């Protein structure tokens, strides 16, 4: 639902029931090898490790950040099968004011493989795609011009 248009007195009322107005989205991804995934997001893509979460003395999850973006990686416990597909039909889009070509070159220089090279899109963004070790797709895009 969208907001109601302004009334004749200049005020506006929110639709009822009021729609969700979220301020951020912080995804959590379950990964096969937490150490490997943490290193990939940190060393290849450029996230920083914000916090490491242990359970019974063993690393169970890692909180990562890149600017205002937050991401939680959790170690798969195998309860749903070790070989289950992860990341199919799902992608995370990160937008940045940084140079897309420089980010793509850095990722390739650190051993990452792009799924698509940086490309100008008709809607004004420049984007490229890369997959993490578990197959989760990241779309890294410039801010709209």
The model's confidence at residue 3, banded by pLDDT at 50, 70 and 90, is very low
Average pLDDT, the chain: 88
pLDDT for residue 126 is more than 80: yes
pLDDT for residue 75 is more than 90: yes
Q: Which of 54, 21, 30 has its CA nearest to residue 135?
A: 30
pTM of this structure: 0.79
Q: Which of 141, 143, 135, 140 has its CA nearest to residue 32?
A: 135
The confidence score (pLDDT) of residue 42 equals 97
Domain 28-142, CATH among 3.40.50.2300, 3.30.930.10, 3.10.180.10, 3.50.50.60 = 3.10.180.10
51 contacts: CB under 8 Å, gap ≥ 6 = 62, 63
């Amino acid at each position: 639902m969208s907001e109601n248009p302004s009334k004749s007195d200049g005020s506006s009322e929110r639709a009822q029931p009021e729609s969700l107005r979220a301020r951020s989205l912080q995804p959590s991804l379950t990964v096969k090898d937490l150490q490997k995934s943490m290193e990939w997001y940190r060393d290849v893509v450029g996230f920083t490790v914000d916090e490491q979460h242990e359970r019974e003395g063993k690393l169970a999850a890692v909180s990562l950040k890149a600017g205002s973006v937050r991401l939680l990686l959790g170690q798969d416990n195998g309860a749903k099968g070790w070989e289950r597909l992860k990341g199919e039909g799902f992608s995370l889009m990160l937008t940045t004011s940084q140079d897309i070509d420089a980010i793509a070159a850095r990722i390739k220089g650190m051993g990452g493989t792009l799924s698509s090279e940086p490309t100008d899109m008709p809607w004004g963004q420049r984007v490229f795609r890369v997959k993490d070790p578990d197959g989760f797709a990241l779309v890294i895009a410039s801010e709209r011009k």
